[in-house]
Amino acid sequence: MSVGPAWEVREDEGAASWFTVRLAFADGARIDVLAVVCEACVFFEDVRARPALSPDDLTVLADWIEEPLLAACGLGADSRAGGGTSAGARRARPAWPRGTEGCRRAAGVYRSAQEEGRDPVLAVMSATGYGRRQALALIGQARETGLLTPRHARR
């Protein structure tokens, strides 16, 4: 991830700073964000992603880039209202269980995303907090244990 300042606007005693953020992944996926930091809150002005992001993915994206953006502004988690416990604070994600229970939960997330017409891999990534490779490995384990149907029909 790279974070760089774009411009800043000062008014009275406050300031709004715009930043460019780029997330590049090993599989070629890329996300470019133009974000505004104002009064220790982060707002997205523009998001461009390949492949496209779902609304759920945008929520996860906000969690990923909030801390690096605030750090780039010189604002840490402790400088936010309420000592980091404000409504804009990052949500803690519970640890994903390992083994059979993790595979079972991943399979459930995968199937429900398929039924809703959403990308099942991105749904597993959002639920687990894992990157694409780890999520695909978890989905593969669920297939191997018989919790998901095989990817290709055997002839």
Domain coordinates in residue numbering, the chain: 2-75, 99-144
Mean predicted confidence (pLDDT) in 58-68: 77
Q: With contact defined as beta carbons under 8 Å apart, do 43 and 69 qualify? A: no
pLDDT on residue 90: 40
Q: With contact defined as beta carbons under 8 Å apart, do 68 and 3 qualify? A: yes
Enumerate residues 6+ apart whose C-beta is below 8 A from 77: 67, 70, 84, 89, 90
Specify the pTM. Answer: 0.45
Given a cut of 50, is residue 153 above it in pLDDT?
yes
Amino acid at the residue 26: A
CA 136 to chain centre: 16
Q: Which of 10-14, 106-110, 118-122, 148-152 has the lowest mean pLDDT?
A: 10-14
Residue 46 three-state SS: strand
pLDDT on residue 57: 79
Cα 42 from Cα 65, distance rounded (Å): 9
Helix (H) or strand (E) holding 30: strand 30-38
Given a cut of 90, is residue 111 above it in pLDDT?
yes
Given a cut of 60, is residue 116 above it in pLDDT?
yes
Cα 3 from Cα 118, distance rounded (Å): 29
